[in-house]
């Protein structure tokens, strides 16, 4: 755990990190995702301000999605009521260009594409319309192609 935090701090200090996927980085083994999530929650706005090239992947799961390897929740954006946590909704709405929605698909999940897409659409439906479009495709387009969509 301490090693992961130290690597994350080194990457962020270098200033060249364009994107970080906390969920994928953590689920390859039993890591304390709760502790990382608390750090990210506490530092969220500071990270965005200090690191202009840092983008957040909101992952693909819904409020009930759990990683089979670690037993931890896939995504930190969900509240206890199954909706988006208010602090994450506020952060995403305030900085929509820094967030991307994704379907984290691997060979083991292709048979569940329709289910995963429903969850993905459920996440996006909870965002205000302009934020929804930014998070759904515009942020990724900008990161990949260096310009505005359209």
Q: Nearest-CA neighbor of 119 among 55, 65, 56?
A: 65
Is residue 24 predicted with pLDDT exceeding 60? no
Residue predicted with more confidence, 17 or 70: 70
The two three-digit tokens of residue 106, written as one number: 């691997």
The owner of tokens 């992961």 is 4
Is residue 31 predicted with pLDDT exceeding 50? no
Q: What is the pLDDT of residues 107-132, one digit of tens each?
A: 777 888 888 888 889 999 999 999 99
Is residue 17 predicted with pLDDT exceeding 50? no
The two three-digit tokens of residue 24, written as one number: 């994928």
Is residue 36 predicted with pLDDT exceeding 70? no
Is residue 42 predicted with pLDDT exceeding 80? no
Contact in structure between 26 and 70 (CB atoms under 8 Å): yes
Question: How many angstroms separate the CA atoms of 100 and 86, rounded?
Answer: 18
Q: Which of 15-19, 60-64, 68-72, 87-91 has the lowest mean pLDDT?
A: 15-19
């Amino acid at each position: 755990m301490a090693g992961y935090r130290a690597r994350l701090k080194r990457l962020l200090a270098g200033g060249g990190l364009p994107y970080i996927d906390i969920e994928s980085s953590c689920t390859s083994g039993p890591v304390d995702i709760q502790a990382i999530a608390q750090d990210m929650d506490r530092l969220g706005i500071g990270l965005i301000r200090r690191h202009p090239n840092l983008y957040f992947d909101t992952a693909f799961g819904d409020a009930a999605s759990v990683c089979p390897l670690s037993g931890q929740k896939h995504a930190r954006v969900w509240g206890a009521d199954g909706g988006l946590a208010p602090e994450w909704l506020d952060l995403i709405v305030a900085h929509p260009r820094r967030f991307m929605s994704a379907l984290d698909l691997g060979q083991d999940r292709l048979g569940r594409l329709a289910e995963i897409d429903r969850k993905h659409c459920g996440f996006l439906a909870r965002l205000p319309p302009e934020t929804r479009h930014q998070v759904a495709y515009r942020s990724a387009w900008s990161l990949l192609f260096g310009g505005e969509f359209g």
